[in-house]
């Protein structure tokens, strides 16, 4: 369980209720990935609605643990699992989640150990059974052979080696084996090969096809667009802007979280500057903003309309 030390938070216009509430966060990335923090200030969470917060939901969260870097607080993705003003409740919830994770881990370990013990037991039992059988058979083989010799051979009807039935049986087995041998090389694997990933910068992994597309792009815009869609979800691209934005809409403050603070965005910026070194910060931000919002990320649906006889006759004329 990670408990951040309290640093000096910048002054904001948040209400007292928001300051009193804390969030239970499971970190998705960063140095504390997969760890749980029970007392994260809501002021740290970018883009959360204090009046009606949505959870469980993944947000961009500022890690405000001093000393503060010169370029601002680092931002990591975190899953907000619960929000409450009762800190004891959040701590107990964090302990429950940690206990559940420990139990699941111990169950998986016990399942692995039971499987190995079964294999060892079966191996030991097979070895001991072979030894016991060999020891028992050496003593009883003489008696069994004598008893078999004393029994009558009238019931046994062995197949003649030179008979036609035996030859046909052997021929059918050889033919079937040759057919199976011919068919086996033509069986193709049903599982597709795994796609190769390429790292752009420190934290952005993209497919090799997207990487080559961006590296060979003739303009910064064509270079940025495929990398943005690999780095962020469609929902985040719609709701965000490059540097962040605050504006009033119908008397309420609407906050657009910024993508500039993400390490993935810094990786994209550095990758673009390698090919276009004279591109300014402002032009890069404008290029990113041109691919954000509703219109650039809308899902287009193709509609097909049956052609009527009138339209067909008009085309003929």
Tell me: the pLDDT tens digits for 251-302? 787 788 888 888 889 999 999 999 999 999 899 999 999 988 877 666 555 5
- Which residues in the chain land under pLDDT 50? 8, 10-15, 129, 132-141, 144-147, 149-156, 184-192
Instruction: Give the C-alpha separation, 14 to 299, whole Å.
Output: 36
- pTM (2 d.p.): 0.40
Give the model's pLDDT for residue 276: 93
Instruction: Give the C-alpha separation, 214 to 220, whole Å.
Output: 9
Look up residue 11 and give its DSSP letter. P
Instruction: Give the C-alpha separation, 159 to 165, whole Å.
Output: 8
Give the model's pLDDT for residue 121: 52
Let me know: does 255 contact 50? Beta carbons within 8 Å: no
**Across 66-225, where does the E strand assignment appear?**
75-84, 197-200, 204-207
Give the model's pLDDT for residue 175: 75
Let me know: does 269 contact 278? Beta carbons within 8 Å: no
Helices (H), 151-249: 164-183, 208-215, 220-231, 234-239
Give the model's pLDDT for residue 16: 55
Comparing CA positions, the residue from 56, 2, 6 lying closest to residue 31 is 2
Helices 220-231 & 263-275 angle (0-180, nearest 10): 160
CATH class of 197-289: mainly alpha
Which residue matches tokens 């985040």? 236
**Cα separations in angstroms, 95 against 1, 82, 91, 185, 316:** 8, 13, 6, 55, 76
- Would you list the domain boundaries of the chain? 16-96, 197-289
Instruction: Give the C-alpha separation, 117 to 123, whole Å.
Output: 10
Look up residue 161 and give its DSSP letter. T
Q: Quickly count: other Cβ atoms within 10 Å of residue 214's Cβ.
A: 22
């Amino acid at each position: 369980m990670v408990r951040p030390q309290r640093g000096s938070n910048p002054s904001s216009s948040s209400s007292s209720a928001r300051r009193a509430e804390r969030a239970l966060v499971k970190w998705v990335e960063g140095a504390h990935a997969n760890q749980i923090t029970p007392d994260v200030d809501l002021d740290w969470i970018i883009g959360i609605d204090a009046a009606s917060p949505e959870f469980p939901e993944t947000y961009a969260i500022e890690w405000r643990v001093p000393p503060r870097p010169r370029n601002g607080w680092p931002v990591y993705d975190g899953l907000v699992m619960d929000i409450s003003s009762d800190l004891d409740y959040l701590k107990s919830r964090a302990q429950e989640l940690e206990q559940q994770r420990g139990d699941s881990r111990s169950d998986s370990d016990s399942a692995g150990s039971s499987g190995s013990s079964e294999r060892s037991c079966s191996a030991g039992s097979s070895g001991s059974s072979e030894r016991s059988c060999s020891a028992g058979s050496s003593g009883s083989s003489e008696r069994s052979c004598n008893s078999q010799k004393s029994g009558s051979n009238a019931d046994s009807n062995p197949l003649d080696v030179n008979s036609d039935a035996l030859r046909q049986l052997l021929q059918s087995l050889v033919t079937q084996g040759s057919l199976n041998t011919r068919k086996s090389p033509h069986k193709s694997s049903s599982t597709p090969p795994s796609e190769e990933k390429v790292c752009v910068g420190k934290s952005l992994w993209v497919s090799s096809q997207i990487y080559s597309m961006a590296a060979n792009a003739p303009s910064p815009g064509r270079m940025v667009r495929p990398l943005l869609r690999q780095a962020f979800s469609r929902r985040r691209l719609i709701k965000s802007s490059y540097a962040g934005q605050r504006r009033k809409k119908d008397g309420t403050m609407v906050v657009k979280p910024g993508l500039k603070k993400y390490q993935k965005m810094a990786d994209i910026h550095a990758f673009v500057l390698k090919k276009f070194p004279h591109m300014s910060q402002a032009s890069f931000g404008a290029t990113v903003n041109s691919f954000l919002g509703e219109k650039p990320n809308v899902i287009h649906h193709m509609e097909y309309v049956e052609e009527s006889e009138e339209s067909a006759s008009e085309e003929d004329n």
